[in-house]
Structure 1
Amino acid sequence: MPSPNTVAPAQGLYQPDEFKDNCGFGLIAHMKGESSHHLVETAIHSLSCMTHRGGIAADGKTGDGCGLLLAMPKQFFRDEAKKLSDITLSEVFAVGTVFLNVDPALAQHSKNILTKEIEADGLRVLAWRVVPTNNDALGEIALQSLPAFEQVIVNCPMGVTEVEFNRKLFLARRRAEQQLQNDPSFYVTTLCSTVISYKGLMMPAAIAEFYTDLADERLKSHIVVFHQRFSTNTLPRWPLAQPFRYLAHNGEINTITANRNWALARTPKFENPLLPGLTELDPIVNRTGSDSSSLDNMLEILVGGGMDLFRALRMLVPPAWQNVETLDADLRAFYEFNSKHMEAWDGPAGLVIQDGRHAICMLDRNGLRPARWVITKNDYITLASEIGVWGYEPEDVISKGRVGPGQILVVDTLTGKVLDTKDVNTHLKNMRPYREWLRDHAIRLNANPELEEQLVDQGLTGDALKAAQKMFMVTFEERDQLLRPIAESGQEAVGSMGDDTPMAVLSRQVRHVTDYFRQQFAQVTN
């Protein structure tokens, strides 16, 4: 067996020891909900261990984007509010991290609008806190687009539940975003009572050096989602660093154009008494950010509108259920019912999500993104793109495994329970009488046996068949490579994802209209 320090031999220009993979993502949670600074430190260390999964700029200090999404460290912000102006926060409060223009006048204008919109909903902005940062931790390229950072602190009024409070904050944020859409510096990373975000274009090892809050022993959390970005589809920008407001995503949403178009088409029907004026907050899903940010937007809308978090996730990113003959009938009804309301946001996609209580990981039906988990004796559950992201001892491991295609893993830090795919499925299928709803309300289009029989009996042959093939532009290649496998084995032909044929628009021949459509795939920008 070779020594672990042995360098693998080069194979032509390929160096096996210099292999780089896709984005790194993960989460660390204390399964019993105990907050600690050690957990935050462990998350930062784990993030730095996945530096190889992100891009690095020429200055050696600017990254594609990395960040942490922490369950709200409440005592830390209570202490900070006291230091600001002797403010005492209520039991429920919110802190939002905001990127602002470096021009003080423009920054104050943005703060005034956000404050006005928050207070228009009957809430009270108690203070703005300048986030302490250290620019020495950044590279020259990151500094060129560096925003200013402040945190807005909002108290929840008496008689308003935490869920209602967060809905009001969501609507206020969206109204402010509409008014400030011409200011590219303005961006609210998070604004709610359950989570807080620290992210940007620094290298993972420097995130606690840049955001000095993260190095403060008083900052404690029981769930941390972390992400190291390898930029695809969109160039690195401060707001596009992950995690977003609910999730961090590893992969690409290859159906993103259709997903965004469907969101736009459905906007007039997105009415909900819990989110008044939602249809006026157009677009509800951004069309200029990354595919991951659009997915996060849609999840935020669904959960904010009162949908169960697990239902929203399984509606957006369902497993492969259509052709599973052994699938439970009630569970099949759940997926069939929800497929009529939302098309799949198709990956490859690995997702880690948190809402302050639940730490969740799920893979799309393709399962092309690794997600491995470990539970250790200190009640930590660690899930990441690769194993061994922090230095636990092998004898401290209680159990370990991986999340597979279409599977979901949930840690409920309130109850201390770990829920697997089967547990979540049981919860989902028992939520509503989906089978009954489908039976009573679904309209099904049935085949016409008489027409099929007539077509078979009077099938085209000879010159008539050739004329029909020419009329519908069925080529020899289509007959031989596509239709013949279907007729012989009842299966679709399998081909590569690539397409190196000339574009139909450049052809001198008359081409079928479908030849002018080409499938889109994610493009790496580094």
Structure 2
Amino acid sequence: MVNRLKHFQVFITAKYAGENKDLFERNIYLLRKQAVVQLCKQNVECYVVSLSSSTVVYKGQFTPDQLYRYYSDLTNPEFVTHIAVVHSRFSTNTLPSWCRAQPNRMVAHNGEINTLRGNINFMHAREGVMKSKLYGDDLHKLYPVVEKNLTDSGCFDNVFEFLVRAGNRSLPEAAMTMVPEAWEKDEDMSPEKRSFYRWAAMFMEPWDGPALMAFSDGRYVGAILDRNGLRPARYYLTDDDHLYLSSEVGVIDLPVSSIIKKVGDFVELH
């Protein structure tokens, strides 16, 4: 491949990694952010695809079939996972590149963020006043929260990950903060949910635009639509306890008899 890049796989460990996984994840997140800053200062073209004990990201300028042939892990029968987030669309508003390919580290995004410039500016302005119980005086080492030369999806992923790692937010809390529902005039919304959105609105402005966001930390996986529902999402729950969610129907060929719930039904997973 003419435009093939150099790949390096790095393994990091710590004595406490098995006993305190959350602390380990926070520390390697800090390590990655610091590495990115230093590489940028030295004008080194490098992108850290993923650095986590829970997830591995495989991506590039490929079609889905090419991706499987390029990364042999994906065709290894001993390589198993209970969740997978797959993104196969090409970017429509930025020049494609290996580092801009999706999925990102925690998020895969179908759509675009129309409020991006304002979101980035507000996030940069907050860096002077934010505090974190988890990082304390080291919080500034995570700045800039939004890195340079990223797509709108990459910027969203930066902030989403920051809320989870430094803000100790759960995945649903981070998603609902950044992509809130149209809650102000929804009379059917519960008081508890309305209170959350009111609190979140004081903390951060919405990242608005047509969007289907899928997100995962390796343990949980979820998805959320923009408040106007401008991007589609369809799901199926099958009798072998698998949940499939995609931007269109027909992505996976499934026997109709195996589907026990689908879009429009309430899904409860155990």
TM-score range, shorter chain: over 0.9
How far off its partner does 1:368 sit? 1.0
Structure with more contact order per residue of length (Cα contacts < 8 Å, sep ≥ 6): 1
User: Does residue 354 in structure 1 map to residue 216 in structure 2?
Assistant: yes
Match of 1:363 in 2: 225
Q: 1:386 & 1:149 partners in 2: Cα distance? A: 33
User: Does residue 157 in structure 1 map to residue 1 in structure 2?
Assistant: no
Q: Deviations over 1:228-284 (max 9, x none)?
A: 123133100101100111110000000000000001100112221312422244321
Distance 1:266 1:246, change over 3 A: same
3-state DSSP of counterpart to 1:334: helix
User: Does residue 327 in structure 1 map to residue 179 in structure 2?
Assistant: no
User: Does residue 168 in structure 1 map to residue 30 in structure 2?
Assistant: no
In structure 1, give the amino acid aligned to 2:208: D
Distance 1:350 1:402, change over 3 A: farther
Equivalences for residues 300-319 of structure 1 within 5 A: 300-305=161-166, 306-319=168-181
Match of 2:203 in 1: 341
Q: Deviations over 1:168-220 (max 9, x none)?
A: 00000111110101445311111111110100002211111111121111111
How far off its partner does 1:410 sit? 8.4
Q: 2:6 & 2:264 partners in 1: Cα distance? A: 40
Match of 1:296 in 2: 157
Q: Would you say the 8 A contact 1:260–1:287 is kept in 2?
A: no
User: Does residue 239 in structure 1 map to residue 72 in structure 2?
Assistant: no
Q: 2:92 & 2:28 partners in 1: Cα distance? A: 31
In structure 2, give the amino acid aligned to 1:180: L
3-state DSSP of counterpart to 2:263: strand
Q: 2:55 & 2:142 partners in 1: Cα distance? A: 23
Q: 1:393 & 1:321 partners in 2: Cα distance? A: 38
Q: Quote the sequence identity (%).
A: 38
State the TM-score, normalizing by the size of structure 1. 0.49
User: Does residue 396 in structure 1 map to residue 258 in structure 2?
Assistant: yes
Q: 1:293 & 1:236 partners in 2: Cα distance? A: 12
Match of 2:237 in 1: 375
Equivalences for residues 366-445 of structure 1 within 5 A: 366-401=228-263, 416-417=269-270
Q: 2:160 & 2:251 partners in 1: Cα distance? A: 28
Q: Would you say the 8 A contact 2:88–2:102 is kept in 1?
A: yes
User: Does residue 264 in structure 1 map to residue 127 in structure 2?
Assistant: no
Q: Deviations over 1:296-319 (max 9, x none)?
A: 000111100212221111111000
User: Does residue 206 in structure 1 map to residue 62 in structure 2?
Assistant: no
Match of 1:221 in 2: 81
Q: Would you say the 8 A contact 1:225–1:352 is kept in 2?
A: yes
Q: 1:356 & 1:331 partners in 2: Cα distance? A: 26
Q: 2:142 & 2:255 partners in 1: Cα distance? A: 50
Match of 1:255 in 2: 115
Q: Would you say the 8 A contact 2:16–2:24 is kept in 1?
A: no
Match of 2:140 in 1: 279
Distance 1:258 1:378, change over 3 A: same
Greater Cα radius of gyration, structure 1 or 2: 1
Q: Would you say the 8 A contact 2:236–2:263 is kept in 1?
A: yes
Q: Which runs of 5+ in 2 are unaligned?
A: none
More helix by share: 1
Q: 1:158 & 1:350 partners in 2: Cα distance? A: 37
Q: Deviations over 1:356-414 (max 9, x none)?
A: 121201101011111100111222111111112122211111111159xxxxx988xxx
How far off its partner does 1:331 sit? 2.1
Q: 1:389 & 1:356 partners in 2: Cα distance? A: 22
Match of 2:6 in 1: 148
3-state DSSP of counterpart to 1:225: coil
